[in-house]
Amino acid sequence: MELSESAQKVQKALAEWGIEARVVELPDSTRTAIEAAQAIGCTVSQIVKSLVFRGAESGAAILIEASGTNRVNEKAVAALVGEKIVKADADFVREQTGYAIGGIPPLGHAHPMKAVLIDEDLLQYAELWAAAGTPHAVFRLTPAELLKIAGGTVAAIK
């Protein structure tokens, strides 16, 4: 089965990074971390949630790669990025990443992010799963691969 256009874009970005992960599109939704874990058969904490926030003063995009079970502590993140952050709306997310909420991958975005933070809790797993461009597409990766492709700073984000 051929991948959707957005999923193909993620597969191409992975190949450009030299990551041999294979994007798969599933019949069940992977829009939320819980749905993704159920569809894949892994724990919710192994799901990489790619969350986009906006700097309150700069208006710049800030990407947080969070473990599926963790909530972002906005005050802690603000201290790390040097300004208050606000949740980005769907239009801003699509404009900055090129993807809709629920399918944002950790790489291949339309524009560079002001900051990328990677949840330290993700590093404890041998295997992670991330969105691949649509609410039905995912790919498996290791924490080392996530660090390589996301290019961010490991931090305590919860």
29 vs 133, residue with greater confidence: 133
Contact 134, 6 (CB under 8 A): yes
40-70 confidence digits (pLDDT tens): 999 999 999 999 999 999 999 999 999 999 9
Residue indicated by tokens 């906005």: 74
117 vs 28 pLDDT, higher one? 117
Query: Residue 2: what pLDDT?
Result: 87
Neighbours of 92 (CB within 10 A): 16
- Tell the residue number behind the tokens 């404890």, with chain if given: 124
Please, which pLDDT band fits residue 77 given cuts at 50, 70 and 90? Answer: very high
Domains of the chain, each with CATH number or no CATH: 5-155 (3.90.960.10)
1 has a pLDDT exceeding 80: no
Write down the pLDDT at residue 66: 98
- Write the pLDDT tens digit of every residue in 88-143: 999 999 999 999 999 999 999 999 999 999 999 999 999 999 999 999 999 999 99
